[in-house]
Amino acid sequence: MPKQAIQKLITRYMPDREVLVNHKHLRFLGNRLNDPNLWHLSRRSIAMAFAVGLMCAWIPAPMQMVLAAVSALYYRANLPVAVALVWVTNPITMPPLFYFAYKIGLWFMGRPAPTESFQFSLEGVMDGIGNTWEPFLLGCFILGVSCSALGYFGVRYFWARHVLKKWAQRQTRRAGNLAV
């Protein structure tokens, strides 16, 4: 997909900056929403948005988008990308991803998986929470930090690689024009 098509696609779905800056419930943020890093597609702001968004995606709490938005403001990351990345964990993907987090937590704690059968009832859920919350939260933390770091360094690596490739193409074009 050409670069211009990707930029058009991203800018079409990005919320309008002026609408957000002038929104009555966001006025308390003042000039912080005017920071250009929150809206530009630069290597630093996108890499930081991946770090923030992927970390917040693994937080098993409601209002992940709000946490991502506040973190994006604090770290001066691209706000729309950070908030959008939270949707990696959505109602469809959440059960398998959080089960994976639980299994990772069990593995890091050195605990075997429980063998008792689960009863789908209020008592069964309450009994299960007592045994699962520690490995689940540990797994979410480990995966959040890992995905955040991979997202940050991955974006920086691929962005730099893309720039170097474009630079090499430009040099080849210039060399071809000089040879004629």
Task: Flag residues of the chain having pLDDT under 50.
Answer: none
Residue 84 lies in a domain: yes
Residue 151 pLDDT: 96
Residue 86 lies in a domain: yes
Contacts of 65 (CB under 8 A, 6+ apart): 56, 83, 86
Which residue type sits at 149?
A
Residue 74 pLDDT: 87
Residue 55 pLDDT: 96
- Containing domain of residue 76, as a range? 3-174
What secondary structure letter does DSSP report for 117?
A: P
| CA 114 – CA 133 distance, rounded (Å) | 13
Cα 148–chain centre separation: 7
Burial class for 79, CB neighbours closer than 10 Å (0-12, 13-18, 19+): buried
Work out how many domains the chain is built from and give that number.
1
Residue 179 lies in a domain: no
Tell me the whole-structure pTM to 2 decimals: 0.75
Radius of gyration of the chain (CA): 22
The token pair at 81 is 């990308």
Residue 171 pLDDT: 87
CB half-sphere exposure, 87, CA atoms < 13 A: 4
Residue 79 pLDDT: 87
Residue 152 pLDDT: 96
